[in-house]
Structures are given as structure tokens and as C-alpha cells.
Structure 1
């Protein structure tokens, strides 16, 4: 049975070229993860706030090295794309920004992020998210980007708003964290800039 619409983005849209480096022009660079980033990621995941709002722990640098291999493979497999958010002057990792659950045919992906404790309060997550969204819409042609976070994570809600992601609603009891089930806010941006109906 044929489809009545064409894919928004064809297979190969991401994998036909190497994962790009994305400068934000405001002091940050989004670059692919490297093997030598594993100690920095491991250190970031020892932070209590990472434990509070994420569902994954990092027990060793070797474990994180495996994650980085998976992150790099996700680009060629076109189901995700992960960038290290680094200081443009020092190349020190300040966090991560990613496209998850990529559905090229629908032109949809979810943005996710975290920052190191030392980078918080500097707008790193919002700036990186804005830069990634610009690239995804203008360079690649995604139609819709979603962003979810625990309702109780007010800092993440501020990041979403600063990056232009409108709050669309609440997904009740949608994600299990170490302290129990959390309601999740759903934010989104669409390429043509249309705001949700009120």
C-alpha cells in the first residue's frame, strides 16, 4: 500500500556527510564527542543534579567510553545525534546537546541537554539548544523539534522557553525517575514558527 505523502527527510539525510561542528558565535562550539571526553562526562555524571533529573548513572570512565561509541554510531544509523557543548576558547566540555528519537520520514526529533555544574547559570543549555534547533531547521529541514522535562525541573523549563520552545502540555506520569514517576512538560518548535492554537 503506497503512502500518500513523501518523507519529510529521506534516508541518508544525516549519514551522507560527517557529523558537523556547529559554532554558536557566542562563545560555544557544538562538536562530535571524542574518546578523550570520557573523563569529563564521567565527572559530570557524579553531580547530584544530574542524578536527580536523569535516569542513567556513570560508574566508570570505561562505561562512558562505551556511551561515546554509541553516540558516534547513532549519527551513521540516523536515529540520534549527540554533540559536546564546549567553550570556544578552551575546548573544555560544558555539557551535551542532542537530537534523540530522530524520525526522518516525519521530520521530527527530540532535543535533550545537560550541563556540567561549573557551566550552570551562564545560559549554556539555552544557547546550545538554540544553535542546534537553528541547524536542524535551516540546514537539515526538520519540521518539528520536541523537548520534554520533568515538570518539577523548573530550570529546564526556563531553558526551553529561552530557546523558543513553546509549552504544549503535560504528559502525566510519563517518566520514571529514581524518586518515582514524574509528570513531564512537552515543549516544541516547528519550522514555520507557527504558535500552538489557544
Structure 2
């Protein structure tokens, strides 16, 4: 069924897929950047889901490097279909430190959802905050999204800090909104809008 809008879409189709997925430098002078995932990143990606802290908050997990590469293929298709944007947070040397993504892209309303994780060795150094700030500025200022949202378990204090430091205001709590390994969790909803 085709959706008919009474107002024009906030964004025009083709604003992403019309160009290659960009590499986004992260300020700080330490060679940090966001780049598309490469097949050679599969082992680092899989290692994140072997970490207890990552597993606590992410229930959709790959089990093998082959499965990770299938995810990477899906990430490329997401870009081509303008359904999502997925980056490795990496050093210019190639070392993977984390993941940054925009999912659920809605061009009609100009809204997307941010998601991220950081490998244990890179935690506590501002990697997630800086990467989220860069992808948010790109999405809002360069691409034309109006609103970016993210949610996390109310028990995930580290993610709450990342969101807040990257300019995402806490808007409320979604009760019993997500299933984790230990049951249902309330979720904080944060958002950043153009002009914040």
C-alpha cells in the first residue's frame, strides 16, 4: 500500500544512495574516523559480542565471522536502499574501536535512530561520545534529518552519559519497552533535533 502524505516529505529520496557512504573524521587529532565496515573487520566486530557488557545491552548478536560478513552485506544494502547507515569507529591505522549506526531512516518525517557500542579497550576515552556527535552533525546539518533519536535501558548508565554528552536530551521513559536477557527493561528516550 502506498502512503499518501498531505505534506511534502522532509527529505528527498536519493540524498544518501546517490553517493558512496562517506568516511567521517572525528575531531581530536588521534586519527579516529567513521568508515564503512570492511570484510577484514569481522573478527573485531564479533569480539564485541563476546564481551559481557555488550551482550547485556545488545540481544541481536552474530555467532560467527561468516554471520558478521552477512551483516556487513546487509549494511551495504541498507545504504543503497536508504534504510540505514552503519560505520566502524576506527583509527586511521585500521584498528576497530566501536560501531556507530543510524537505523529506521524515515525520510517523510526526517527522523532516524542512532545506535552504538565500543569495544572494552576503548571505553572511558570519549570514543562513543565523539563518534555520536560527528554522525549527528553529519545527519542533521549535511544530510537534512530533522530529528535523531536513541534509546537505551534505564540501567545502562554509560549509554545515558554518552547520549547526554553528545547533545541528546532525555525526553522520557518508555515503560517495559525492550526485552533483554534478564527480562523486560524500561528504556530512556533521548533525542537531538536540528538547531539544538
Category of TM-score, reference length = shorter chain: over 0.9
Check whether the contact 1:165–1:187 (CA below 8 A) recurs between aligned residues: yes
Is 2:37 the partner of 1:33?
A: yes
Task: Rate the CA distance shift 1:42–1:6 in 2: closer, same or farther, 3 A.
Answer: same
1:93-132 alignment, distance < 5 Å = 93-132=96-135
Q: Deviations over 1:37-86 (max 9, x none)?
A: 11110112110011101012222111111111111110011111100000
Q: Which residue of 2 aligns with 1:196?
A: none
Partner secondary structure for residue 73 of structure 1? helix
1:29-178 alignment, distance < 5 Å = 29-88=33-92, 90-178=93-181
Question: TM-score, normalised to structure 1's length?
Answer: 0.94
Task: Give the CA deviation at 1:25.
Answer: 2.3
Q: For the residues of structure 1 that align with 2:138 and 2:172, how far apart are their CA atoms? A: 25
Task: Provide structure 1 residue ranges, at least 5 long, that are not aligned to the other structure.
Answer: 194-198
Q: For the residues of structure 1 that align with 2:121 and 2:74, how far apart are their CA atoms? A: 26
Task: Give the CA deviation at 1:4.
Answer: 2.9
Partner secondary structure for residue 105 of structure 1? coil
Q: For the residues of structure 2 that align with 1:176 and 1:2, how far apart are their CA atoms? A: 33
Task: Give the CA deviation at 1:2.
Answer: 5.8
Q: Which runs of 4+ in 1 moved over 6 A?
A: none
Question: TM-score, normalised to structure 2's length?
Answer: 0.95
Q: Deviations over 1:61-112 (max 9, x none)?
A: 1111111111111001111110000023x22010000001110111000010
